[in-house]
Amino acid sequence: MNSNSSRRSALKNIVGGTAVAFSPMAFSEVFAANEKALGADLNGKINHSVCRWCYAKTPLEDLCKAAVAMGIKSIELQGPEEWPILKKYGLTCAMPWGAGKGINDGFNDLKLHDELVKSYEEIFPKLKEAGLDKVICFSGNRRGMSDEQGLENCAIGLKRLMPSAEKYGITVTMELLNSKVNHKDYMCDTTKWGIALCDKVGSDRFKLLYDIYHMQIMEGDVIATIKKSHKYFSHYHTGGVPGRAEIDDTQELNYPAIMRAIVETGYKGFVGQEFVPKRPDALASLKQGVTICDIA
């Protein structure tokens, strides 16, 4: 993210096109029918996804066409209005959104629990009907609250959600974000805190989104963390450090090595490209990122 507000704005404002009505066929069926074509030129060890907000200037249907051509299987951080457009192109949405109040206002605020629980319980059946099995959530900002109190508050709210999440088979996934550069005051800003919350919630339907960019900024030790703690992670995001630019040799992370570590854990989910292209040809940068992560 180039600023503290860029992704918050994107999550609220990106619509990406005119909604298309759902047909009875779920995402999973459409995706399965197109999977061979989508991955035809790739090695297949990584399921590639891309975060929509990073390509806000590209019309959604154009991004869908480009994704299919590159072998990307998912465009994520999309709500129900956009899911039918992805489905039209045989793509899935590996990490949907469409519930909650955004990054700053999350489960660490007891006053928001009724509203948050209601919004997530309303989207669970929509996710299930669409053949999707995850949804993103956030801790919220500290605002002077101790990490211990925030942990307790988040667990109270999330435990209310787990019976419904388990009923519909939806993994509620809290994103780990850095509080040094992009999201000042965000509470779920270390793997240790996120794991403590997972243990406190005590359900396989609550896990973490391990954002490699954010955790490199906060704590480093990315590969060792993935190897040690992968059972807590339901999804991964990329991004170049420093600056969240392209993930090539202009920055400090070795993404082929990181992807190998992820594969070695037995992970079968998606890796979402979430860097912000700095070069004029944003889609060329996206293709480069996929190629870098497409380990043999």
157 has a pLDDT exceeding 90: yes
SS3 83: helix
Cα-based distances in Å from 240 to 124, 219, 237:
33, 15, 11
Cα–Cα distance measured from residue 250 to residue 242, given in angstroms and rounded to the nearest whole number: 9
The CATH architecture annotation of domain 6-12+38-293 reads Alpha-Beta Barrel (3.20)
SS3 47: strand
Cα–Cα distance measured from residue 249 to residue 170, given in angstroms and rounded to the nearest whole number: 37
Query: Which tokens go with 119?
Result: 């919004």
53 has a pLDDT exceeding 90: yes
Cα–Cα distance measured from residue 234 to residue 210, given in angstroms and rounded to the nearest whole number: 8
Q: What number is the average pLDDT over the span 54-79?
A: 97
Cα-based distances in Å from 98 to 14, 67, 86, 227:
11, 22, 15, 31
210 has a pLDDT exceeding 90: yes
Q: What is the pLDDT of residue 36?
A: 52
Confidence of residue 4 (pLDDT cuts 50, 70, 90): very low
Is the model more confident about 143 or about 32?
143
Interstrand relation of 206-211 and 74-76 (parallel, antiparallel or unpaired) = unpaired
Quote the DSSP letter at residue 295: -
Confidence of residue 41 (pLDDT cuts 50, 70, 90): confident
Cα–Cα distance measured from residue 6 to residue 8, given in angstroms and rounded to the nearest whole number: 6
Query: Mean pLDDT over all residues of the chain?
Result: 90
Domain spans in the chain, listed from the N-terminal domain onward: 6-12+38-293
Q: What is the pLDDT of residue 90?
A: 97
Measuring CA to CA, which residue among 83, 82, 49, 88 is closest to residue 65?
88
60 has a pLDDT exceeding 90: yes
286 has a pLDDT exceeding 50: yes
295 CB contacts (<8 Å, ≥6 apart)?
A: 43, 45, 46, 256, 259, 260, 263
Q: What is the pLDDT of residue 115?
A: 98
pTM, two decimals, is 0.89
Identify residue 241 by its one-letter amino acid code: V
Cα–Cα distance measured from residue 103 to residue 121, given in angstroms and rounded to the nearest whole number: 18
Cα–Cα distance measured from residue 73 to residue 75, given in angstroms and rounded to the nearest whole number: 7
Helices (H), 179-245: 191-201, 212-218, 222-229
Q: What is the pLDDT of residue 37?
A: 52
Q: What is the pLDDT of residue 13?
A: 39
Q: What is the pLDDT of residue 1?
A: 35
Cα–Cα distance measured from residue 88 to residue 14, given in angstroms and rounded to the nearest whole number: 18
Q: What is the pLDDT of residue 250?
A: 93
Q: What number is the average pLDDT over the span 227-256?
A: 97
